[in-house]
Chain A
Amino acid sequence: MADTSPAPNDASRPVILARGVRKHYGAIHAVDGVDLDIRAGELFGLIGHNGAGKSTMFKMMLGLIPLTAGEIRIDGASVTGGDFRAVRRKVGYLPENIVLYDNLNGLETLQFFARLKGVSSADNPRLLERVGLAHAARRRVREYSKGMRQRLGFAQALLGRPRILFLDEPTTGLDPEAIRGFYAILRGLREEGVTMVITSHILAEIQERVDRLSIMAAGKVQATGTVQALRESMDLPLWFEVRVAPGALETVRAALAELPLSAVEPREDGLALRCGREAKMKVLAVLSSLGAQVRDLTMREPSLEDVFFGFSD
């Protein structure tokens, strides 16, 4: 690789780079030729069904299991090579369904992992405060709820101010308010230039928050890009929900007759229209020319879920 010491916040520089990564268990190809370029400071999503290969990919990026073929570099170094300690000190990891030690309290848990990471424990009380656990610092993990364990796990991942975070289904068990708080912390980290890789099965949650994402299926990356770019490349139809003034339904129907709509469905007080992306502006123009006969209009873009099923089916 001809990667010569770029500026630390160069957004185009891949902090996590995977080339031709394969993981085969006998005849099962869990990961089958994956390339990834995750750039410095981006919040990158990795989505896929169970068994799509994203957990295996995660484990290989963390150096927990060996690769069958290919290579993975974190900040230019191998996670399992001679520099593995230095690499791992830069990395924070929140595993899916985190299991911590029931007999330790919150502070002791952080202290244990801080020692292993070789970082100071001085910041631990502040870390607990950051994830909303200051009140439970001296309570044993045994007494923690699922959400509290998840938050303690997140605090653990933040030990030593890592430059790269791997978050596997990080919001499992969190209530909606905690999820908002969690993403607020991620936004703050993003501003500090921390690179984050996140998996989630709640696509609606991830779609507004990630910079880019990869969709994995059958051990391969099916598509990578921003949510918007993926939507456009899929060319999925959009929906208009039109509320019509009383008695104006037939006029509206007539006005829409010449448009290239793929579906027109009746609704309680109007119509639902489906059309391709190329017809979007025409539909808007016609509807706005109808003046007061159209009382309200909602446009629904295809969701990440629609995109996801488009790629993974």
Chain B
Amino acid sequence: MEFSQIATIAGKEFWDRIRNRWVLAVSLVFTVFALSIAYFGAAQQGAVGFRSIEVTIASLVSLVIYLIPLIALLLGFDAIVGERERGSLDLLLSMPITRGELLLGKYLGLAGALAFSTVVGFGLVGIVLSAQLDLNALFHYFGFMLSSVLLGCAFLSLAVMLSVFAADRTRASGMAIAMWFFFVLVFDLLLLGVLVVTAGQWGGEALPYMLLLNPADVFRILNIFSLEDVRTLYGLSTVFPPSLARPWLLGLVMLAWIAAPLAIASWRFRR
């Protein structure tokens, strides 16, 4: 594996997203949403203004859990299939580069753009809020940003995997939307459904482990469990046994969610 080849591909993907203002647009979306939530999140309850970091992070988590997977899937679904469909893949593959290097370069460049947008978008809000936050709150906010980056990277990895398997861009985009529905909307409902239908007879024990099968749930648990006050507000995540709720363990699970789809994509792409 030659690092310079990966860096060349990654650099191009990253700068493409800077130049076409994708990074700017996504950062702006994050900043605007985060600021609105921080200051107007309590408007329903008749109050406006910053409340607590815990409530703010909890609200941000509910937003980010929908938004970041969608953005990541849209960013990555045509990484390979797009080159193939446009007809530029053959030329790339005729260069002194392996398919694995091309795939990893694409992923790292896109992941860099997404991570950069996330850190800039939420980081700006963090700076604005920093006057009202103590060190502990800042630490939580930083954890939220880091887990958001991991969430984006996990769904981007899934998107790149789709882009290797899909026969054309149209199908890849359909699969990306389906994947978003499944992980973000359907998965939790399915688990709950199983619990209710079997009256808790089946799946009760295994449920916490099942949650690890969805990177969006891992993200939720990572953020909720660090916040004592809001833990009780959440249903599903609170059945989670403390033995599993270690940030480093959940972080490792996220890394596995990044590595596994990429490994499958690389295996498939080489065939």
- The residues of A with any CB-CB pair to B shorter than 8 Å are 59, 62-64, 84-86, 88-89, 91, 93, 95, 97-101, 103, 112-113, 115-118, 156
Contact = CB atoms under 8 A, between A and B. Distances in A.
Nearest to A112: B12
B180 to A, nearest CB: 27
Given A103-B19, A112-B12, A113-B95, A118 B88 contact: no
Given A112-B8, A116-B5, A118-B4, A95 B91 contact: yes
Given A99-B86, A112-B12, A116-B5, A93 B96 contact: no
A93 B96 CA distance: 12
B90 interface: yes
Contacts of A100: 88
Contacts of B91: 93, 95, 98-99, 156
Nearest to A88: B96
A103 B19 CA distance: 9
Contacts of A64: 90, 93-94
B268 to A, nearest CB: 15
B88 A116 contact: no
A93 B88 contact: no
Dominant SS among interface residues on chain B: helix
A99 B88 contact: yes
A95 B8 contact: no
Interface in B25-75: none
Chain B contact patch, size range: 20 to 34
Contact of B97 (A101, A103, A116): A116
Interface of B: 2, 4-5, 8-9, 12, 16, 19-20, 86-88, 90-97
Contact of A95 (B4, B5, B87, B96): B87
30 contacts: A63-B94, A64-B94, A84-B96, A85-B2, A85-B96, A88-B95, A88-B96, A89-B96, A93-B94, A95-B87, A95-B91, A95-B94, A99-B86, A99-B87, A99-B88, A100-B88, A101-B88, A112-B8, A113-B95, A115-B4, A115-B8, A116-B5, A116-B8, A116-B92, A116-B95, A116-B97, A117-B95, A117-B96, A118-B96, A156-B91
B23 to A, nearest CB: 14
A261 B158 CA distance: 73
Question: Which has the most chain A C-beta neighbours within 10 Å: B12, B16, B19, B87?
Answer: B12
B25 to A, nearest CB: 16
Contacts of A62: 90, 94
A156 B9 CA distance: 16
A87 to B, nearest CB: 8
Contacts of A89: 96
Contacts of A116: 5, 8-9, 92, 95-97
Nearest to A62: B94
A108 to B, nearest CB: 9
A118 B7 CA distance: 12
Nearest to B19: A103
A84 B4 CA distance: 16
B61 to A, nearest CB: 35
B24 to A, nearest CB: 15
A95 B92 CA distance: 11
B88 to A, nearest CB: 4
Given A99-B87, A103-B20, A88 B8 contact: no
Given A95-B90, A99-B88, A112-B12, 12 more contacts: A59-B90, A64-B90, A88-B95, A89-B96, A93-B94, A95-B91, A99-B87, A99-B91, A100-B88, A101-B12, A103-B19, A112-B8
